[in-house]
Amino acid sequence: MAVEVVYRSSRDPERLFMDKAEADRHDKMLELAESLSVVLHRAVPSLNEEQVEELGIYMAKNRDIFARAFKNQPDALGELNGSGDE
Q: Per the domain annotation, does 85 fall within a domain?
A: no
For residue 16, what are the domain limits?
7-80
Q: How far apart are CA 7 and CA 57, in angstroms?
A: 21
What pTM was estimated for this model as a whole?
A: 0.79
Of 47, 50, 79, nearest to 63 by C-alpha is 79
Q: What is the pLDDT of residues 13-26, one digit of tens each?
A: 889 899 999 999 99
Determine the average pLDDT of the residues in 51-69: 96
Identify the CATH number of the domain in which residue 71 sits: 1.10.10.710
Q: What is the band of 34 on the pLDDT scale with cuts at 50, 70, 90?
A: very high
Q: Per the domain annotation, does 1 fall within a domain?
A: no
Q: Which residues, in sequence order, are CB contacts of 58 under 8 Å at separation 6+?
A: 85
Q: What are phi and psi of 3, to 5 degrees?
A: -115, 130
How big, in percent rounded to 5, are the helix, strand and coil portions of the chain? 60, 5, 35
pLDDT at 84 over 70: no
Q: Per the domain annotation, does 2 fall within a domain?
A: no
pLDDT at 85 over 80: no
Q: Per the domain annotation, does 86 fall within a domain?
A: no
